[in-house]
Structure 1
């Protein structure tokens, strides 16, 4: 298989400093709105990178469930591998790979748990089957078989039959507070447009163009 011959040009557009908004969250909102309007598959899917206690990086795809000036929010099992990683090293990165429109966004920052009320509000908005799944899955732990997990799903389904499903105490959200964000727009001849926002001590954002 000749992987070296697989290539394409990036010709969808360009990105200039004049097009950028002063605040990266506002710029992200603009790009997210455009990604949704263009009906990209899974526009909220992002790669979360963490580092564990042995300095081993790990990555997985999670879904963005909200963002504002405070940061970017996702939800997970607090006993999962990623949660254990963030407990020992809260520095993380998020990556949005919007390849169909030749764009990428990188977010670097610190992850912190959201409030229980915020976690509960989102949990209660999920489909009932997803709520049951959160109770049934011991995320990141070794499973003897899928049947074990499905039996646990059946068990919690019976336990909460005709009841409101409570928020598990081992499940909730994280908010990534950004200190650096990068916006990447593909360009011809691999001369891509990259702009980096860096948070300064006074709370302002510095914008720099980066070499591709």
Structure 2
């Protein structure tokens, strides 16, 4: 089958301006819970897009770990995404839940969360994942997989679950949204798109966009 021949007609749900919450974060929490209840695989997986120093976009999948005033995720601060956010702190995040025929897009400014918040999450992780945060020089070129396994073995001889600390180069970020779009698939490609735009006085304007 040709890719151009693949088509799905979306008929599951609808979305109207009058039905959404005044806050996009609160609306997102509703959709997150519905994704969780629907047993969507990896419902917290999100596409994070940053901008490279040469101005070109760079995307990868990371995991959402909290929703409060924004979206929280964790990574190596020295990774490609970390370096890109250091140079340009604006990013875009996209969720796609095909089982629910839904997509959510966030755009906003990203900043590091507090050391206390990063510590709290780091020590909630499995010991093997904690070790991994120390072992991997994320996004740098390494000679082979054996390099990682050797570093892991060396570290395990020196450190225990009781003595491990969080690496300073590893922690969390929070994206505070300035624009959010909720997309609900509809029949005949006439999808519902509800767009939130934050004003200068932090009031959310809600509008419908053409599909």
TM-score scaled by length of structure 2? 0.98
- Residue 38 of structure 1: how far off its partner (Å): 0.4
What CA distance in whole angstroms lies between the structure 2 residues aligned with 1:81 and 1:148?
Answer: 20
- Paired residues, what number? 211
The answer on 1:38 being equivalent to 2:38 is yes
Could you say which residue in structure 1 is the equivalent of 2:116? 117
The answer on 1:55 being equivalent to 2:58 is no
What CA distance in whole angstroms lies between the structure 1 residues aligned with 2:67 and 2:8?
Answer: 33
Could you say which residue in structure 1 is the equivalent of 2:14? 14
* Residue-by-residue CA offset, 1:145-198 (whole Å, 9 max, x unaligned): 001111111111221135331010100000001000000000000000000000
Q: Secondary structure at the match of 2:62?
A: strand
Stretches of 4+ aligned residues off by more than 4 angstroms: none
What CA distance in whole angstroms lies between the structure 2 residues aligned with 1:18 and 1:158?
Answer: 60
Correspondences of 1:1-212 after superposition (within 5 Å): 2-68=2-68, 70-161=69-160, 163-212=162-211
What CA distance in whole angstroms lies between the structure 2 residues aligned with 1:164 and 1:43?
Answer: 33
Judged with a 3 Å threshold, the aligned counterparts in structure 2 of structure 1 residues 169 and 192 are, in CA distance, closer, same or farther, namely same
Question: Any stretches of 5+ residues in structure 1 without a counterpart?
Answer: none
Q: Secondary structure at the match of 2:81?
A: helix
CA contact (8 A) 2:127 2:161 kept: no
- Residue 64 of structure 1: how far off its partner (Å): 0.5
Judged with a 3 Å threshold, the aligned counterparts in structure 2 of structure 1 residues 154 and 37 are, in CA distance, closer, same or farther, namely same
What CA distance in whole angstroms lies between the structure 2 residues aligned with 1:171 and 1:126?
Answer: 13
* Residue-by-residue CA offset, 1:64-90 (whole Å, 9 max, x unaligned): 11011x211000000000000001111
Q: Secondary structure at the match of 1:85?
A: helix
- Residue 17 of structure 1: how far off its partner (Å): 1.1
Q: Secondary structure at the match of 2:123?
A: helix
Question: Any stretches of 5+ residues in structure 2 without a counterpart?
Answer: none
What CA distance in whole angstroms lies between the structure 1 residues aligned with 2:81 and 2:169?
Answer: 13
TM-score scaled by length of structure 1? 0.97
* Residue-by-residue CA offset, 1:106-126 (whole Å, 9 max, x unaligned): 000000001111101100000
What CA distance in whole angstroms lies between the structure 1 residues aligned with 2:161 and 2:126?
Answer: 15
Q: Secondary structure at the match of 1:46?
A: strand
